[in-house]
Amino acid sequence: MVDDLLAGHGRFRADLGANERKLLAGLAERGQRPVAVYIGCSDSRVIPELLTDAAPGQLFVVRNVGNHVPRTSEGDRSVGAAIEFAIGQLGVADIIVCGHDGCGGVKAALDDLAGLDPDSDLATWLTGLRPAVDRARAVSLDPAAELARAVEEHVLDCLATLSERWIDQPGEGATIRLHGWVYDLANAALRVYHEDAGGFVPVAELGVDPRSP
């Protein structure tokens, strides 16, 4: 119920401490200076600020079905517009694409959009995931492993699209860094694409200190 959300807002305001109020007031006065663009899925279970322990103002978040980064040929410019704003106006240098295991959008693409009106917005959007799911199918895995592989392949596809637009073009991308993540919701754990390893590696294996600020 929406009333529950409004009640939650009341609790949010009541529970705000002095430090939190100061932080939010400062963001309102000085503007935002996010450290990264986060491109993720709209799935309500995957909350960027929660899984990264990010404070307000740290992430410039773009979310859509399947954490998709459309190619220019697909016609949708909403993701590109957000990235352009973050890079050009906010000076953000790091772009994260974060997929998640069990993604419904990727599964629908794997199922050849079964049950969807082919002319619907959702079906049209999900056609952009086909190259990734086709590569996952070619490996001949069991259904669960195939879905996990397709999620990873799609993150890599999105990184390739970003690279073509923001890194490979002359005069652009000199300082842009791309990062591919996959979130395992069941275990609350991230896998990060590591080029030297040739695949996605659990964060726990990368030696990242969780005590780092």
- What would the pLDDT profile of 153-182 be if each residue is shown by its tens digit? 999 999 999 999 888 665 554 589 999 999
Residue 170, Cα to own-chain centre: how many angstroms?
26
Neighbouring-strand partners of residue 189: 184
Residue extents of the structural domains in the chain:
1-31, 32-205
Please name the residues in contact with 181: beta carbons below 8 A apart, sequence gap of 6 or more.
Answer: 96, 97, 98, 99, 155, 190, 191, 192, 193
Candidate CATH numbers 3.40.50.300, 3.40.1050.10, 3.40.50.1820, 3.20.20.70; the one for domain 32-205: 3.40.1050.10
* pTM for the model: 0.93
State the amino acid at position 17 in one-letter form: G
- C-alpha pair distances (Å), 102 with each of 50, 109, 111, 133, 185: 19, 12, 13, 13, 8
pLDDT digits (tens, 9 = 90+) for 121-133: 999 999 999 999 9
